[in-house]
Structure 1
Amino acid sequence: MNKDKILIVDDKEENLISLEYILSDFNVEIVKAFSGEEALKYSLKDEFAMAILDVQMPGMDGYETLELMRHRKKTKYLPVIFVSAIHQSDFHIMKGIETGAVDFIPKPIIPEVLKGKVSVFLDLYRQRKELNLVLKYLENKNEELIIAKDKAEEATRAKSMFLANMSHEIRSPMNGILGLSRLMLNETENGEHQDMLKVVTTSGEHLLQIINDILDFSKIEAGQIDLECIDFDIRKLCDTIYQLLNFRAIEKGIDFSIDIDEDIPDTLRGDSFRLNQIIMNLTNNAVKFTLKGAVKVTIRLLEKNEDWVSLHFSIKDTGIGIPDKAQKTLFREFTQSDSSISRQYGGTGLGLAISKNLTNLMGGKIKLQSKQDVGTEFMFELKFEYKEKEMTTIPESNTDFPQDLSILVAEDNPINQKVAVLTLRQLGLTCDVAKNGLEALQMYKQNNYDIILMDMQMPVLDGINASQKIRSHEANENIGNTTYIIALTASASSEDKQVCLDAGMNNFISKPFKKEELEAVLSQGVKTTHKYD
């Protein structure tokens, strides 16, 4: 059986030998190229799992080489990692990302870092190959029903794992893209530049929503969705949805309204995040497919006893409607009512499938009534515990941070380091930076920081183990004013949040984060730290 191939490109032979030695543990064939031209020749001839490309080379440099690769069908989606001694320059890092690189590693190379990143992309490549082989086998062997069934189930598991891994890997660079674009948007006064940055930010947020949908769908398939049960204000939830979608309705010239029964209690108890996801998906679709008229969200009280209320939700529009035949398959994943719909309106076809599954998990069932060219109404009913008394208003974040507040950012990705440093700077704060968990632990022991922003996944020592060691050190040394640790992660799941809390962390923020979100958790940290009572 032929081995998977990795292409390494560098004009210096000693660097190629070093890379080949680092990758010797992988069961792959290493193909070496001494120039960009040679790399392009090999990429036309062979299929590679990934490429490791030097930036600075005579003649055609790494950026030019990758740009040409991206214009070729065979290498358009080839994962490429840049390695360079000029990584400190933001210009070169951003240029690498814009050219199409998946990562940027500084020289001298840390073997463990490179091995970890290569392992991820090699696994994804092999999973994709395996999935393609399974699909091909099923096409050619339809008569072997039992084998086809087993292979189809394996393909579903492989697809779910692939989607989950890819979604997680994409969130980290998305933190850099959205973080820097938001920071630049706040600082620039040039109107034209602001417009361009708004396009970048909006596009990034749209891509992030697609990533979240894919991740949610893969988790639903794997049965890994756990519902939360927390107090929330349904009116505030709907007001947020209104603020997010009303501007789109105004742009299209349609009316958008939300009507909530006055008899519905102020404070409900349940999974507000998933409820928001359901209403947001259905309402976003309603606005998207309505060209004229109105979109109306209605929430009615059906039943109420001493412990719970039953609510009826309706999202009604005067849009394009859904043909009777298409309604039967509408809630299937990756499906839209017409093949031309995705081309005209966009979308992954996952929103309704996710909404249906989440509604089922919460004990409800989605129904729809629709007539083509007249409009559509989606309806579902859910039960929630409730409190008669309104929730206590949470005070706004205190932006007047203490002047001597000491902060450590533990993050291995140089782009995400820059995002964190610049965001803190906009909040009037400074920080130190650690490149891995072990370095963070050592710096903490020397400086006893007030707050640590701790990435979960780092080389040498990850954020979970680093936090556990910090808490152990505090206990052994009888330290009263413990450090406030905030987890930074590319995952947004409640399971990961619980892992962080179990490790002794105090709070949790997922990438990509907004300045306001970081400000809020820092404010909580300042209030919790006894030093500032």
Structure 2
Amino acid sequence: GFTGLALKTGLNDKQQDYLKKIKTSSQTLLGIINDILDFSKVDAGKLELVKADFMIDDVLDSMSDMFCNKISEKGIEIIISVDPSIPVALVGDSLRLSQIIMNLMTNAIKFTDKGEVVLYVSLVDKKDDFVLLKFSVKDTGIGISEEDIAMLFTPFTQVNIKNTRKFGGTGLGLAISKKLTEMMGGEIWAESMPGKGSVFNFTARFGLQISNRPPVFLDSHFRGNDVIPAKAGIHFAGKLVDGYLTKDKEIYPEFIEIRVLVVDDNLTSCETMVSLLKSFNFLPDSALSGEDALQKLTINARENRDYSLVIVDHMMPDMDGVKLSERIRENPIFRNIPIIMMTAFGIEEIQIQASKLGVNSFLIKPIKRSVLLDTIMKLFGKKIEVKSDEKGKTETADNSIQKFKGLKVLLVEDNSINQQVAKEILNLEGIIVIVANNGEEAVDLVNKNFFDIVLMDIEMPVMDGFESARLIRKNITRKLPIIAMTAHVFNGYREKCLESGMDDYITKPIVPEELFKIIKNAVPLFRGAA
């Protein structure tokens, strides 16, 4: 809560980065604390998956934030490689998906001292209303014997006592992951050999979001030539249609045939970057060493096929990224080509040194698709639209500020810290907030004042949220949306809230985006009703 509020204040880039990582780490810690509760709930059949709209890119970006520090701590490469044909707008439980990925990635990093950990995301099957995705976490770590693999997903079981003492056991994470993948209509399995690394795979099924925006038929040059209403990502007669948001190939036609050279000695990392650039319509080429890069730059310049951009990794043998950048700037033939350097988090001194040599911009590994595009667009002087969380819409950041201005909310919460966090989150959107410290105060305030919506905590002294909601419904005739706020996630608890007269339910800790989505859905339906 307070971290999110701090992120909205005036901060420099480094402060923003630190706070974002504090926020991510806090959320991770909360997830770990909940692991034991999760397993007991799954085992008792009391955990249900949420069906909500989410963007797969957001899930993967959060993984990048979560593990970027591990790169500098262990000196390993973390790579996220995504099949560009995967629809980005999905329906399912993104929190539980993140939990599975986090469990597998954490173990892979823990048991890998050198080399790389790669998360692959691929499309297994796609129908009109769902997709089946495969997630694979591959590492170059210590590996697992065949007999130990059989015990991996058994709760409270640790394999190989020697390695457990050195690295720490896997705990309940894999057992929970197995249960969750089964609930998502998938399966989980592992492949490994001692000393050769491991691959942990799981599949999961997700729904496809329905778009409010008519999709566009695209011709071979990715220009729209017809419009019909349809679901997101459907193919008609072999023509590409995407009803969620126009694809990057349509949004950025100016990148078609722009040549980019990627220089990275890690083949997996290099191939992943090439794939990302292709998804933006660039024509990428690759080099696995500094010498190879200089040779390609020279040959292409002589043939009048100059590169418009060079993306170079910092850590390379023989000739690192800093030295290569220096060599590029010394050559009059291609000295003016923009350079982006990929670095690990926490090596600001390298960035300062590289900047003095003429490196134009930097990317922190693991590379996020959105950050890569943002960096390139800024380099080329382009403006970027901010994609909305809402289906079929784009908006600038300014348009999203204070869209609820003037809305009057009754916040019913007994905890002073929770009051402050919720109030400031709501105030930032221009919402007027009146606070009640318990259910009894809430009933009295509703009887004497007009509110657009009530946010109701459940467990409070004097009068709880259930009783307060029942009395509010009894005392007033107009329709007033009441939203429950609670940390309970057991089956049946949401139904209990609805039975007491509440209209919806949001779990704590409150995620602002989810809260505003619920408010938006609830208020227009009731405002002005007699």
Instruction: Give the shorter-chain TM-score range.
Output: 0.5 to 0.7
Equivalents in 2 of 1:525, 1:269: separation in Å? 20
Residue 484 of structure 1 is matched in structure 2 by 481
1:257 is aligned to 2:89: no
Equivalents in 1 of 2:128, 2:79: separation in Å? 30
Residue type at the aligned position of 1:500: C
Change (3 A) 1:403 1:496: same
SS in 1 for 2:134: strand
String of CA shifts for 1:119-173, please: whole Å, max 9, x gaps.
xxxxxxxxxxxxxxxxxxxxxxxxxxxxxxxxxxxxxxxxxxxxxxxxxxxxxxx
The answer as to whether partners of 2:412 and 2:435 remain within 8 angstroms in 1 is yes
Residue 435 of structure 1 is matched in structure 2 by 437
Residue 527 of structure 2 is matched in structure 1 by 530
Residue 422 of structure 2 is matched in structure 1 by 420
The answer as to whether partners of 2:24 and 2:66 remain within 8 angstroms in 1 is no
Correspondent of 1:300 among 117, 122, 135: 122
1:32-47 superposed matches below 5 A: none
Note the C-alpha offset of 1:353: 0.7
Correspondent of 2:470 among 468, 471, 482: 468
1:457 is aligned to 2:279: no
Equivalents in 1 of 2:470, 2:393: separation in Å? 30
1:19-38 superposed matches below 5 A: none
SS in 1 for 2:118: strand
String of CA shifts for 1:258-281, please: whole Å, max 9, x gaps.
333344455555544433332332
SS in 2 for 1:418: helix
Change (3 A) 1:190 1:450: same
SS in 1 for 2:45: coil
Equivalents in 2 of 1:200, 1:264: separation in Å? 30
Residue 512 of structure 1 is matched in structure 2 by 509
Residue type at the aligned position of 1:214: I
Residue type at the aligned position of 2:447: K
Note the C-alpha offset of 1:226: 2.8
Question: What TM-score do the two structures reach when normalised by structure 1?
Answer: 0.54
Correspondent of 1:217 among 29, 35, 39: 39
Range with bigger deviation, 375-384 or 441-450: 375-384
Note the C-alpha offset of 1:487: 1.9
Correspondent of 1:320 among 132, 142, 145: 142
String of CA shifts for 1:48-79, please: whole Å, max 9, x gaps.
xxxxxxxxxxxxxxxxxxxxxxxxxxxxxxxx
Residue type at the aligned position of 1:393: G
Change (3 A) 1:302 1:415: closer
Change (3 A) 1:318 1:233: same
Residue 187 of structure 2 is matched in structure 1 by 365
1:350 is aligned to 2:172: yes
Note the C-alpha offset of 1:214: 1.7
SS in 2 for 1:431: strand
Change (3 A) 1:273 1:419: closer
Change (3 A) 1:425 1:309: closer
Change (3 A) 1:454 1:301: same
Equivalents in 2 of 1:469, 1:490: separation in Å? 23
Question: What TM-score do the two structures reach when normalised by structure 2?
Answer: 0.55
1:444 is aligned to 2:266: no
Note the C-alpha offset of 1:420: 2.8
1:377 is aligned to 2:374: no
Change (3 A) 1:343 1:496: farther
Note the C-alpha offset of 1:368: 0.7
Residue 285 of structure 1 is matched in structure 2 by 107
Residue type at the aligned position of 1:467: A
Change (3 A) 1:448 1:255: same
String of CA shifts for 1:353-379, please: whole Å, max 9, x gaps.
100111223343321112333311012
Equivalents in 2 of 1:516, 1:385: separation in Å? 20
Equivalents in 1 of 2:135, 2:481: separation in Å? 41
Note the C-alpha offset of 1:222: 0.8
Change (3 A) 1:522 1:258: same
Change (3 A) 1:336 1:454: same
String of CA shifts for 1:190-247, please: whole Å, max 9, x gaps.
9999999889766643431122212211101112233455555545543443444345
Residue 69 of structure 1 is matched in structure 2 by none
Residue 401 of structure 2 is matched in structure 1 by 399
SS in 2 for 1:314: strand
The answer as to whether partners of 2:404 and 2:431 remain within 8 angstroms in 1 is no
Equivalents in 1 of 2:17, 2:87: separation in Å? 42
1:408 is aligned to 2:410: yes
Structure 2 segments unaligned to the other structure (5+ residues): 209-230, 235-241, 245-390
Equivalents in 2 of 1:489, 1:483: separation in Å? 19
Note the C-alpha offset of 1:432: 2.5
Residue type at the aligned position of 1:484: P
Range with bigger deviation, 417-426 or 350-359: 417-426
Equivalents in 2 of 1:483, 1:342: separation in Å? 56
Equivalents in 2 of 1:202, 1:265: separation in Å? 25
The answer as to whether partners of 2:483 and 2:505 remain within 8 angstroms in 1 is yes
The answer as to whether partners of 1:399 and 1:519 remain within 8 angstroms in 2 is no
Structure 1 segments unaligned to the other structure (5+ residues): 1-178
SS in 1 for 2:153: coil
Note the C-alpha offset of 1:349: 1.0
The answer as to whether partners of 2:187 and 2:203 remain within 8 angstroms in 1 is yes
Note the C-alpha offset of 1:381: 3.5
Equivalents in 1 of 2:147, 2:456: separation in Å? 51
String of CA shifts for 1:274-296, please: whole Å, max 9, x gaps.
33332332233323433332222
1:241 is aligned to 2:241: no
SS in 2 for 1:409: strand
String of CA shifts for 1:335-365, please: whole Å, max 9, x gaps.
4435576676567711111001112233433
Change (3 A) 1:321 1:190: same
SS in 2 for 1:285: helix
Change (3 A) 1:250 1:510: farther
The answer as to whether partners of 1:456 and 1:488 remain within 8 angstroms in 2 is yes
Change (3 A) 1:263 1:185: closer
Equivalents in 2 of 1:307, 1:520: separation in Å? 23
Equivalents in 1 of 2:22, 2:65: separation in Å? 20
Residue type at the aligned position of 2:392: T
Change (3 A) 1:251 1:308: same
Note the C-alpha offset of 1:439: 1.7
The answer as to whether partners of 2:402 and 2:429 remain within 8 angstroms in 1 is no
The answer as to whether partners of 1:235 and 1:260 remain within 8 angstroms in 2 is no
Note the C-alpha offset of 1:395: 6.3
Residue type at the aligned position of 1:486: I
The answer as to whether partners of 2:80 and 2:119 remain within 8 angstroms in 1 is yes
SS in 2 for 1:298: strand
Change (3 A) 1:469 1:184: same
Residue type at the aligned position of 2:458: M
Equivalents in 2 of 1:235, 1:358: separation in Å? 20
Change (3 A) 1:239 1:373: same
